[in-house]
Every structure is written in structure tokens, then in C-alpha cells.
Amino acid sequence: MPKIFNLYAKYYDLLYRDKNYLAESNYIKKLINLYKPDSKNLLDLGCGTGRHILNIAGSGIDVSGVELSEVMLEKAIENLRDKSKLHNRVKFYHGDIKSIRLKEKFDVIIMLFHVMSYQNSNNDIMLTLKTIKEHLNENGICIFDFWYGPGVLTERPEKRERILSDDEISIFRTSNPVMRINENIVEVNFHIDIKDENGIKIEEFAEIHSMRYLFKPEIKLFLNYFNMSLIHIEEWMTGKMLSEKSWYATAIIGNKSEK
């Protein structure tokens, strides 16, 4: 995924201005309180611009974030500058979640905004789980969200258009999904037009984000290889039981008990 977000990241926070990071962070904190209430530290793999973990750090947990996109990482560091009280609780690292090794263990690992679904191949998923395994305390948990296969196949993605703007620019984004049904992947073709406040085009680009949708049995199979287990699974944010209409799911995984 080396080129994804190179240009997209420049406008990431505006594109997802309406995303409720605070509500999502509170949802994650609720799950942590339920499944690992004694947590002292947390690692965010694929932390983006850091808006989830900056909210979580505010609750008293030391957090670290790993991000591959240098542009996204710069924005995360910039976002941290505005929160002086958190400077001693937050660390950011540049690296690939499939290979980075921080030589540190964590009580909680999170992967949010479909980072797991960006791992398109079986090998990508295995390498990501290996990173999780290497960094997770013995009784720690990992929380990640992903595109849920039954939901994607029941209500297939459609072409969408969106316009967003601030005081300086306006963005017109189209997303055109293509199903690669035999690979369990949706290719989301983004086309972005950027104009200034006078309506003059200043940039235009396209990116393809390939998203893998996953199924509960295959997740269990991957986890079994690393002697890990699926602790809990539910619909993202709602906490409901998964159904054929659930597009996004939340999984909580951990090391298998020695008992």
C-alpha cells in the first residue's frame, strides 16, 4: 500500500470532517473497559492523523501510533501540538504495520477505519497478525474493525459522489467501486477534484483503495495459526449481533489461554 494516501492524505481531515472521532473513541474506550479495564498503554496500528488515539490518551492511557504515510504522520504530529497536556503520553512512529517492531509490549492494540481490510492478501493479514502478536502483552487485547463479508455481498457498494469545502478549497470526490468477487475485494476508485475559493482547479488525482471483506470463520482460521482466539465480535458502534445487513464489524482478539 505504498502509494495510497500520498495525495489523498493532504485532504484527509477535510474529507472526513463529519466523521465522529469522539464517539468512535468513546466506543473503543467502552470496549477496553469491558475487556481490559486495567490497561496502561495502547498501540494504534495505522493511526492516520492520530485523532482516535489523541482522544483515548486524554483518558489517561499512554498511546503510541504507527503510520506508513509520511503526510498522515505529519498531520498527526501537528494535531498533537495543539494538545500540550498529552505530549508526554503520545508517541508516533513511521513504519509499515506488517513489519515494524517497537521492542515494546502493549495492553491494547487497535486498528481502526478498516486498516485490517486494507490487508488484501492472506500474506498481508498473516504479517499484520504477526506484528500484533509480537507487540501484545500476554493478557492483552486487540480491537479492529473491518468490512464484513455477508453485509458487503448482501448490500453491494454503489457509486457515490460527495462535495466538501472549507474557507480555502472545495473538494469533489467520486467513488466508483468494482467487485473482485473471487478475491473477496472491493476496489474503490476515487477521483478527486480540488478547487480554490474562486472555483479555479488547483489539483486533480485518482487513487484506488482495495478493500478486503472478511468472514468470521476465516478470521478464526488466521488467529489459530498464531495461537490466538476471537474473544468477541459485533456490529461496529452499535454493539448488535452481526447480520447479513452488517457492513462493518468489530473484532476483539487475544492470546489463547494456557489453561
CATH number of the domain to which 197 belongs: 2.20.25.110
Q: Is there a domain that residue 3 lies in? A: no
Q: Is there a domain that residue 52 lies in? A: yes
Are 180 and 86 contained in the same domain?
A: no
Are 157 and 239 contained in the same domain?
A: no
Share of the chain above pLDDT 90, in %: 77
Are 199 and 237 contained in the same domain?
A: no
Are 35 and 162 contained in the same domain?
A: no
pLDDT digits (tens, 9 = 90+) for 159-184: 999 998 888 888 999 999 999 999 99
Global pTM value: 0.93
Q: Mean pLDDT over all residues of the chain?
A: 93
Are 40 and 138 contained in the same domain?
A: yes
Look at residue 246 in the predicted model and tell me its pLDDT.
98
Q: What is the count of structural domains for the chain?
A: 2
pLDDT digits (tens, 9 = 90+) for 74-95: 999 999 998 878 889 999 999 9
Q: Is there a domain that residue 182 lies in? A: yes
Are 102 and 38 contained in the same domain?
A: yes
Look at residue 7 in the predicted model and tell me its pLDDT.
60
Q: Does 3 have pLDDT greater than 90?
A: no
pLDDT digits (tens, 9 = 90+) for 118-133: 999 999 999 999 999 9
Q: Is there a domain that residue 50 lies in? A: yes
Are 73 and 183 contained in the same domain?
A: no
Look at residue 32 in the predicted model and tell me its pLDDT.
98
pLDDT digits (tens, 9 = 90+) for 204-235: 989 899 999 999 999 999 999 999 999 999 99
Q: Is there a domain that residue 69 lies in? A: yes
Look at residue 2 in the predicted model and tell me its pLDDT.
42
| CATH number, domain with residue 98 | 3.40.50.150
Q: Does 6 have pLDDT greater than 60?
A: no
| Alpha carbons 158 and 186: distance in angstroms, whole number | 11
User: Whose CA is closest to 43, among 152, 163, 134?
Assistant: 134
Q: How far is CA 66 from the centre of its chain?
A: 11
Q: Is there a domain that residue 1 lies in? A: no
Look at residue 1 in the predicted model and tell me its pLDDT.
42
Are 134 and 203 contained in the same domain?
A: no
Q: Is there a domain that residue 229 lies in? A: yes
Q: Does 5 have pLDDT greater than 60?
A: no
Are 45 and 136 contained in the same domain?
A: yes
pLDDT digits (tens, 9 = 90+) for 45-79: 999 999 999 999 978 899 999 999 998 999 999 99
Q: Containing domain of residue 156, as a range?
A: 152-212
